Amino acid sequence: MGATSGAAVEAVADRLDVDAAVARLPDDFRAAVVLRDLCDLDYAEIARVLDIPAGTVRSRIARGRAQLADLLGNPTDPDGRPSTRP
């Protein structure tokens, strides 16, 4: 019972961390990432919703995911380059 409760607490805490990290993303990146990974829209739908080119959608999703990974403590860049991106 205690282990189950601890896991639940940890899951809630993780979710709070994810929400805080998403809130720190720039608006353009956040919108693209949320529509893709949370709302499960494809690139064409995101382009239509945000009224931007599909290439821009791809770029914003890639940059948004990278910033989110850095904010969540996953600096796995093997080159050791700075994790913050514009």
* Residue 3 amino acid letter: A
The answer to whether residue 53 forms part of the interface with another protein (CB under 8 A) is: no
**Which class for 26: exposed (0-12), middle (13-18), buried (19 or more C-beta within 10 A)?**
middle
Interface map 7-46 toward another protein (x if CB under 8 A): -xx-xx-xx--x---x----------xx-xxx-x--x---
If the CB atoms of residues 28 and 58 are measured against another protein, the closer one turns out to be 58
Number of residues counted as binding another protein (CB under 8 A): 35
